[in-house]
Structures are given as structure tokens and as C-alpha cells.
């Protein structure tokens, strides 16, 4: 890790910086009178801590919120030069609390922009409230394709890539590698089935063949009989090139690699994963935001943090560019062709007009190496290659009647 080579500890640097400020070394930015203030709410709910798969990775409780805080810091650094101030208020609903209550009583009367880190159902429950209609909700928690299709809402912007976008990213890479025969292993949860649906759609879209599909019904404990279970389980009638696993909660997917009957790589929710952000990503200035986040949070940036960062930065970018305080003109800017958000992935990000999905590259990452960035070279599109991932305009089932 690069930070390890830094000869000073972080507290020492802060101390040094403080001393510098005291000595008048650091010149403060010219204080421009604040002409506009923008308030952004961040709403999430506490979750039940899932049973750990292993003791390696601690459960991250504050996924998302630190990303939003970093976004506000960046908005305000820019704001110092433009006379704009950005405030973030965090609403963390307790486990037994009611997000709708918090939303209607504390958020909707005061905020135009709300970053929402909640599951799909809870999100649309909020979006359908009459008080939410004039607001803009930034969804940084879901990846559901239904929310971007049949269940889409005009006042909800989806920051994270959908399952379809992730599956398409994997499919493009496998097509490039000519690993065309897939063995699909599906976990027991509803999310796993949705992921498997996206994988099947991608397979069809890119001419891949699912030669076998099995539901995982074995143990979730590595200390028991995984070794023999997986070897037996991964014997298929037809040969396959890759094992694609759909296990979003990570209950068993990690056990598959190196234990299969024949030597085959694992992809999907484990092994080679498709994600908007990963700790191995360092191109296009990513190493800088990785550093800044690590310093602030003391942990790596998770995709929910990245999503919340982008949401808050999108509001900041609209405010800086339009120099406007009008909610209408900020929204118009977010949906315009001029909107180009930096996501540290080499391509400007923007919103798809047909389903409010943030158009973005998808990273294909192994645990300690970034393998590829989709769209993969050679997958062409008449408008932007980013639209080769997920539901393109003609395929969309989103109709803005709600």
C-alpha cells in the first residue's frame, strides 16, 4: 500500500499542517461572500448485521455516509471560490424506526436533494409520497433492474450500476476472452435470482451459452464439508469455460474457487466481480480519491460510498456550473447534455434520459487486481459505448407515468 511508505504518521501531518496554519504559512482561500447555500439530506436505516462469512473482513456499518461527507468537502472547497456553501444533514433511522416518518417530518419540508441509501421497496415508498414529487432522490443503495424499468420513478436518480450493467460488463469481457460456455450457480436469496436473471440476459445479448445451471443448497460453513461438496456440485454433463456465481450476500461464493471439479475461473458476485468502484482501481486520478477517502475514513471506499460521493458531487457540479439557486435549473442541468461528472473512471458520467440511470464504466476486479474496465474495447454503440451496458433506450421498460 502506498500510504505505508509515507514517513510521517497522519496525526503528525495534521499537527504539522496545524502548525503551518498557526504560523501563517497556509494562505486561506480568498473568502468570497456566500451567496447561495445548498442543503442535501442523507437518509439511511440501520441494518441487521449479517453473519460473517469469515473473520477477514469486518462489517462496515457506515457504508455510504463517509462518501457523502467527502463529496460535501469537495463541493465546499469549490464553493469557497464561487461563494456557494453546501450542507449535509445525515438521517440514520434506527432499526425499528420508520423511514417514511423521518422523510415526511424532517426531510421533505427542508431539503430539495436527498441521497437515499435504502433497499428498493423502501426507496419507492418514499418516492411515491406526494411530498417527494418535487424533490430529487439520489438512490445509492440499489442495483435492481426493476427500479430502472417497470418500477422507475421520475424523481429518482440511480447512481450505482444495475445488475444488468454489471452482467453485461462481465459478458463483454468473457466474449473477448472467448469463454463462451457458462455454468451458472444460483444462491437461495431473491437477490441471487435477480442477479442470475441479469446474467442470463447478458448471455443472450452477447451470444454466450449457459450450459448448466444449479441452485446451491449446501452448507454455508467452510469448516464443514465444502471441499467435497463443491467438487461434486461442480460436475456438469457439458463442459464449461467459466463458473458464474450469483451470491450477492457472499454466503458461499468464495468457497467455489480452487475447489471445482475441473480447473475453471469463477466470476459473478465472487471471483472476478463487476463493480462501479474497487480498491484496486488507480487509473484516471482514482489513486487520489482513494487516498483522500482512506485518510478520512480509515478504510477503503465501498461502492455505496462512491455512489454517495457522486450524488453529492452531482449537486455541487450543477450548482457551480449554473450559479443558480433554483431547484428547476439545477435539475435541468443534471439532465442536460452539458452535465459531465468526473467519476475517476476516465469517462464523463451523465444520466440516461430514459431511466435516470447514471451512465458509467464498470470495473472488472479480482480481489487484488483490476482486470479490465467495461465497456471493453470493440463493443461499439452509435451514441456512447457506455450505453452498451445495461438497458439501452430501445430496450427500456421505463415509462414515466409515475
Partner 1 sequence: MKQKALKCFLMLALTASAQAETVFVTLEKDNALAVVDPIAGKLIKTVPIGQRPRGIFVSPDNKFLYIATSDENTIKIIDANTFKELGKLPSGKDPETFALNPAGDRLYVSNEDDSLVTVIDVAKKKVLKQIKVGVEPEGITVSPDNKWLISVSETTNMVHWINTKTNAIEANTLVDPRPRAASFTADSQQLWVTSEMAGTLMILDSQTKQIIKTIGFEVQGVTRDKIQPVGVVIDKERHRAYVALGPANRVAVVNAKTFEVEKVLLVGQRVWNLAFSPDQKRLYTTNGTSNDISLIDLESQTVTKSVGVGTYPWGVAVKP
Instruction: Using the rule CB under 8 A, give the single segment among 41-49, 77-85, 86-94, 128-136 that binds partner 1.
Output: 77-85
Residue 28 φ/ψ region, left for φ over 0, alpha for ψ in the -120 to 50 degree band, beta for the rest: beta
Q: Is 74 in the site for partner 1 (CB under 8 A)?
A: yes
Chain-centroid distance, C-alpha 330: 23
Residues 105 and 285: their CA atoms lie apart, in Å, by 40
Q: Is 56 in the site for partner 1 (CB under 8 A)?
A: no
DSSP 365-395: EETTEEEEEESPTT---SS-GGGGSS--GGG
Nearer to partner 1 (CB atom), residue 26 or residue 51: 26
Nearest approach, Cβ of residue 174 and partner 1 (Å): 22
| Contacts of 366 by beta carbon, 8 Å cutoff, 6+ apart | 271, 272, 280
Q: Is 34 in the site for partner 1 (CB under 8 A)?
A: no
C-alpha cell, 24:
501563517
Binds partner 1 (CB under 8 A): choice among 18, 87, 225, 384:
384
Q: Is 15 in the site for partner 1 (CB under 8 A)?
A: no
Residue (of 91, 86, 92) closest to 73 by Cα position: 86
Cβ(149)–Cβ(391) below 8 Å? yes
Instruction: Using the rule CB under 8 A, give the single segment among 12-20, 123-131, 141-149, 214-222 that binds partner 1.
Output: 12-20
Q: Is 397 in the site for partner 1 (CB under 8 A)?
A: no
Nearest approach, Cβ of residue 295 and partner 1 (Å): 7
**13: three-class secondary structure by DSSP:** helix
Q: Which string of x and - marks every residue 331-370 that binds partner 1 (by CB under 8 A)?
A: ---------xxx---xxx----------------------
Nearest approach, Cβ of residue 161 and partner 1 (Å): 17
Per CB under 8 A, contacts with partner 1 among 286-305 are 288, 291-292, 295
Catalogue the E-assigned strands of 169-297. Answer: 181-186, 209-215, 242-246, 266-268, 272-275
Q: How many CB atoms lie within 10 A of CB 391?
A: 22
Q: Is 329 in the site for partner 1 (CB under 8 A)?
A: no
Q: Is 28 in the site for partner 1 (CB under 8 A)?
A: yes
Backbone angles phi, psi at 255, to 5 degrees: -80, -10
Binds partner 1 (CB under 8 A): choice among 77, 98, 121, 225:
77
Binds partner 1 (CB under 8 A): choice among 12, 15, 26, 34:
26
Strand pairing class (362-366; 369-374) = antiparallel
DSSP 161: P
Nearest approach, Cβ of residue 253 and partner 1 (Å): 32
Interface residues with partner 1 (CB under 8 A)? 2, 5-7, 13, 17, 20, 25-30, 74, 77-78, 80-82, 285, 288, 291-292, 295, 320-321, 340-342, 346-348, 384-386
Amino acid at each position: 500500500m502506498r500510504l505505508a511508505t509515507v514517513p510521517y504518521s497522519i496525526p503528525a501531518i495534521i499537527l504539522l499542517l496545524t502548525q503551518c496554519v498557526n504560523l501563517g504559512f497556509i494562505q486561506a482561500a480568498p473568502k468570497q461572500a456566500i451567496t447561495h447555500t445548498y442543503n442535501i439530506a442523507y437518509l439511511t436505516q440501520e441494518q441487521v448485521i449479517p453473519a460473517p462469512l469469515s473473520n477477514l473482513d469486518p462489517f462496515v456499518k457506515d457504508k455510504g455516509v463517509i462518501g457523502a461527507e467527502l463529496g460535501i468537502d469537495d463541493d465546499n472547497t469549490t464553493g469557497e471560490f464561487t461563494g456557494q456553501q453546501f450542507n449535509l444533514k445525515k438521517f440514520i433511522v434506527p432499526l425499528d424506526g420508520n423511514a417514511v416518518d423521518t422523510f415526511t417530518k424532517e426531510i421533505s419540508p427542508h431539503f430539495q436533494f436527498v441521497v437515499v441509501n435504502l433497499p428498493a421497496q423502501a426507496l419507492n415508498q418514499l418516492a411515491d409520497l406526494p411530498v417527494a414529487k418535487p424533490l430529487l432522490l439520489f438512490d445509492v443503495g440499489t442495483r435492481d433492474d426493476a427500479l430502472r424499468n417497470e418500477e422507475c420513478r421520475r424523481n429518482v436518480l440511480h447512481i450505482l450500476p444495475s445488475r444488468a450493467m454489471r452482467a453485461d460488463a462481465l459478458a463483454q469481457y468473457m466474449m473477448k476472452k472467448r469463454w463462451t460456455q457458462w455454468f451458472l450457480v444460483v444462491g437461495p436469496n431473491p437477490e441471487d435470482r435477480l442477479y442470475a436473471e441479469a446474467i442470463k440476459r447478458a448471455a443472450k445479448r452477447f451470444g454466450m451459452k449457459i450450459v448448466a445451471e444449479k441452485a446451491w443448497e449446501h452448507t454455508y460453513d467452510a469448516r464443514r464439508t465444502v471441499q467435497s461438496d463443491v467438487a461434486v456440485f461442480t460436475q456438469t454433463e457439458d463442459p464449461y469455460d467459466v463458473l458464474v456465481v450469483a451470491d450477492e450476500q457472499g454466503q458461499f461464493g468464495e468457497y467455489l474457487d480452487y475447489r471445482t471439479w475441473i480447473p475453471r475461473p469463477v466470476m459473478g458476485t465472487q471471483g472476478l466481480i463487476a463493480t462501479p468502484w474497487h480498491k484496486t482501481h488507480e487509473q484516471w486520478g482514482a489513486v487520489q480519491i482513494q487516498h483522500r477517502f482512506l485518510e478520512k475514513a480509515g478504510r477503503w471506499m465501498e461502492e455505496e460510498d462512491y455512489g454517495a460521493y457522486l450524488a453529492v458531487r452531482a449537486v455541487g457540479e450543477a450548482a457551480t456550473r449554473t450559479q443558480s439557486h433554483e431547484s428547476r435549473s439545477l435539475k435541468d442541468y443534471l439532465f442536460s447534455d452539458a452535465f459531465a461528472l468526473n467519476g475517476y473512471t476516465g469517462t464523463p458520467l451523465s444520466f440516461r434520459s430514459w431511466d435516470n440511470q447514471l451512465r458509467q464504466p464498470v470495473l472488472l476486479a479480482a480481489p487484488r487486481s483490476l482486470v479490465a474496465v467495461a465497456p471493453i474495447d470493440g463493443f461499439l454503440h452509435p451514441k456512447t459505448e457506455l450505453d452498451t451496458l445495461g438497458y439501452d433506450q430501445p430496450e427500456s421498460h421505463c415509462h414515466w407515468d409515475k
